[in-house]
Amino acid sequence: MSRYTAVTPADLDVMLATIGAASVDELFDQIPDGVRLREQLDLPAGMTEQDVYGHLLDLARRNTSAEDEITFLGAGMYDHYVPAVIDMLLGRSEFLTPYTPYQPEISQGGLQVMFEYQTAICELTGLPVSNASVYEGPSAVGAAGYLAKLANGKRKLVVSRGLHPHSRETLRTLSHGYGTEVVEVPLRDGVTDPDAWAAAIDDDTCAVFFQQPNVLGAVEDAAALAAAANDSPAVVVGSYDPLPLGILATPAECGVDVAVGEGQTLGNRLDFGGPSFGFFAASEAYLRRMPGRIAGETRDVDGRRGFVLTLQTREQHIRREKATSNICTSQALNALAGVVYLSWLGREGIVELAELMLQRTAYARDTLAALDGVELLHEQPVVREFALRLDVGGLDGVRRVISSCQDEGVNPGYALGRDYEEHPEGLLVAITEQRTKDHVDRLADVLARAVAAERARAGAGHEVPA
């Protein structure tokens, strides 16, 4: 008997007698002989709780986490502080262990959380409707493409190269299924090239996609990008980092139709990439084409205020092949972390946090760009992340610089050349409230030495610069 089951030999006798079966094995007689597994699975034997803990601890120790180094790594997920109230609330059985709220009378907690979450996302984006979460950021971009395809049936998705590479690739993967083509628009001076953007949009454009701030950390002129699609049928989709929205112009103010984004920074851990959540908000016109769960307010038979899952005729369990999405299980617990985090930050706090990142990012940008062999990749406004060019001969040089900084306990950021062949020497540096002036100064010291060493190495003829 495992520690998670409870059938004693005495129970077993009574249960089999009640069923009228001679053995448990008889219950599997439905399975044809040809597909019965006769041998045991080739897996290790079970372990005690303490041994499993020891094994998982051992694996954890073989990772270098944000606890083990001063990290400036971002590029889509960021090392923000997760307040203790989130651990405590997410660990509560009543939030952790229910299923999707199919019985609203006994699920008011979860349903009201969804309603509050939707309210917070609407406030953050300025858009009138939000769903209760989708999987995560890049697949939210893909879901927005599907919404646009259902809305106007056009064939072309116009995508800024400022959109995260994972978002662009996810969009390409998913749109290959639903039958659209993806056209990329290059960046110029760190932001989406406005002329190429305008030229790419025509009567056959299904949707246009940009990211704010974009993958190089630059703040895009979102209003101008949206306006360029005014005379086309295209749905304007913006993929937003939610924390800079504390101060950035909202999607609604910029004329964006659908705002999506990665919710990790709102109270969710890094977790090596998930689980987090994606948010999905839209203008009223797209309400009935939204993917996923939506909670709505109503009354019970006694007139008490309550909440239900609503507009379910969009969803797979009702509409089946005509559904607006196939999503079922989503990210409710992570979205709970999101609304708790936004409430914890509060009305003033989110502005303060965004202004704090703005100041520290400016300091880090100036400090690092002053180093020998380091220059800015672009001079656009930035809020929490910026791009540098290291004069080290190419991507391999950047990788070696990163590695030697990490050997000194500082992770300087992301090598952009991994995804952008036009920026082989790019380094993307991210700032959160957990990275102080001292951390930045330490990075400057370590990076200066690493870049100098790499340049000396190249100069000494160990490598021919690209």
Q: Least separation, in Å, of the C-beta of 153 and other proteins?
A: 13
Chain positions 317 to 376 lying near other proteins, rule: CB under 8 A, are 317-323, 325-334, 336, 339-340, 342-353, 355-356, 358-360, 362-363
Query: How far does CA 280 lie from the centroid of its chain?
Result: 12
* Angle at CA of residue 244, ends 243 and 246, nearest 5°: 75
Q: Of residues 186-245, which lie at the interface with other proteins (CB under 8 A)?
A: 219, 221, 245
Query: Per rule CB under 8 A, is residue 44 in the interface with other proteins?
Result: yes
294 binds other proteins (CB under 8 A): yes
Token output for 282: 């839209």
Whose structure tokens read 């659209």?
A: 180
Out of 296, 376, 442, 457, the residue judged to bind other proteins by CB under 8 A: 296
Report the C-alpha gap between 414 and 412 in whole angstroms.
7
d(CA 392, CA 211): 29
Q: Least distance in Å: CB of 181 to other proteins?
A: 13
Is the Cβ of residue 255 or residue 349 nearer to other proteins in the bound state? 349
Cα 444 from Cα 4, distance rounded (Å): 52
Site for other proteins in 80-109 (CB under 8 A): 83, 85, 87-89, 91-109
The stretch among 227-235, 270-278, 388-396, 458-466 that binds other proteins (CB under 8 A) is 270-278
Within 13 Å and on the Cβ side, how many CA atoms surround 57?
6
Binding-site member from 255, 274, 445, 463 for other proteins (CB under 8 A)? 274
Q: Are 190 and 218 in contact (CB under 8 A)?
A: yes
Tokens representing 359 are: 């100041």
Q: How far is the CB of 14 from other proteins (least distance, A)?
A: 7
Closest CA to 297 of 287, 286, 310: 310
Site for other proteins in 437-456 (CB under 8 A): 437, 440
Q: Supply the DSSP symbol for 99.
A: -
Rounded-to-integer distance, Cα 434 and Cα 79, Å: 7
CA–CA separation, 118 and 153 (whole Å): 28
Least separation in angstroms between residue 294's CB and other proteins is 6
Number of residues that bind other proteins (CB under 8 A): 207
Distance CA 410, CA 221 (A): 33
Based on the shown chain and the rule CB under 8 A, indicate whether residue 27 belongs to the binding site for other proteins: yes
Residue 279 makes contact with other proteins by CB under 8 A: no
Q: Scanning residues 107 to 126, which ones bind other proteins (CB under 8 A)?
A: 107-110, 112-113, 115-116, 118-120, 122-124, 126
What is the nearest approach in angstroms of other proteins to the Cβ of residue 328?
Answer: 5
Of the candidates 384, 445, 412, 434, the residue with the CA atom closest to the CA atom of residue 72: 412
Q: Which residues within the stretch 393-432 sit at the binding site for other proteins (CB under 8 A)?
A: 402-403, 406, 411, 414
Please select the residue that binds other proteins; options are 22, 56, 370, 466, rule is CB under 8 A: 56
Task: List the one residue out of 386, 378, 361 whose CA is nearest residue 439.
Answer: 361
Query: Rule CB under 8 A: which of 58-77 touch other proteins?
Result: 58-68, 71, 73, 75-77
